[in-house]
Amino acid sequence: MTEAETDPTQRVDIVTREDPPVRVRYNWASIANQLRAEPMVWFNVFKDGRVAVSNAVKQGHVADVHPDLGFEVSTTNNKRTSPRTCDMYLRYNPEHQSDLRAVLTASRKKK
């Protein structure tokens, strides 16, 4: 290691040419429709993907596959090292669907 790599107070004056990583975007509405077509069947959404995505789905931050709409999340192969990755699976369970959440979501989509 060079002195600049070990000394955090050292100024960086050399840069490398590099494109940023491509961000994966999910069509959650399409995924939700596919899951609703086959209730109670697990589907793999991604392998070796970001844990942050699975956490967002589990915590209800993705409206199209919100847990109150009956969507369940399971992860495997969780890696605790940086970058944190996992395999994410989703299924639609109509018995866990909240009627109020379904009505509110449907009314928002009509606007």
pLDDT at 37: 97
Provide the β-strand partners of residue 72. Answer: 91
| This prediction's pTM | 0.76
pLDDT at 52: 96
What is the per-residue pLDDT across 67-94, written as a single tens digit (0 to 9) for each?
A: 999 999 999 999 999 999 999 999 999 9
- Could you check whether the bond before residue 8 is cis, i.e. omega within 30 degrees of 0? no
Ramachandran class of 86: left when φ > 0, alpha when ψ lies in -120 to 50, beta otherwise: beta
Position 72: which residue type? E
What is the per-residue pLDDT across 10-64, written as a single tens digit (0 to 9) for each?
A: 888 888 999 998 889 999 999 999 999 999 999 999 999 999 999 999 999 999 9
Q: Are 50 and 83 in contact (CB under 8 A)?
A: yes
Residue 106: pLDDT over 80: no
